[in-house]
Amino acid sequence: MSLNLNDKKAVVAEVSAKVKAAQTIVLAEYRGIQVSHLTQLRANARTQGVFLRVLKNTLARRAVEGTVFAELANEMTGPLIYSISVDAVAAAKVIADFAKTNDKLVVKAGSFAGKSLDKAAVVALASIPSREVLLAQVVGMMQAPISGFVRGLAALAAKKEADAGVVVGEVAVEEVAA
């Protein structure tokens, strides 16, 4: 189904808005994938906050024109699905994870913070944990010395209490007897 001029402008405006807020865009070729698998990919993308869409390449080129992702225009050939995310790794992670289970989805290129990425770089970006996981790891590393210190103090207090409990108990018995 062909789009009229107003529909094309609306698509370009929608995609341009997503691109302006994005940190990462990943392009993947989807030739030969069953509709049910694409539906599953879209559902995974939705849960991770990734804008995933099959677009006409000319409309996608217009959407990235004048942005930090303009270099991707050279890679926009063939049947592509566009993965766009505000999270730095989410777009790459959704595509790379799906490509592991479906060999017909081929990562073609990407861009992160204005830097072009080839297939290997997109896969490497996808292997980085998400922002939430990284923050949790940092907090865990910051808490580790403190919690170890607190456990050590608690063990020391318990030991002193156990040692003092025997002595205090004897003293208390002697004071009552006197």
In the chain, which stretches have pLDDT less than 50? 167-169, 171-177
Tell me what pLDDT residue 1 has. 54
Phi, psi angle pair for 54, to nearest 5°: -90, 125
Tell me what pLDDT residue 169 has. 47
Tell if the pTM clears 0.75, that is, is over it. Answer: no
Show the tokens assigned to 30: 């989807």
The answer to whether 88 touches 112, Cβ cutoff 8 Å, is yes
Domain extent listing, the chain: 5-128, 130-178
Task: Name the residue among 93, 127, 87, 90 with its Cα closest to residue 107.
Answer: 93
Show the tokens assigned to 3: 């789009």
Tell me what pLDDT residue 95 has. 92
The answer to whether 89 touches 126, Cβ cutoff 8 Å, is yes
Contact residues for 62 (Cβ-Cβ < 8 A; gap 6+): 12, 16
Tell me what pLDDT residue 40 has. 92
Can you name the CATH fold of 5-128? Alpha-Beta Plaits (3.30.70)
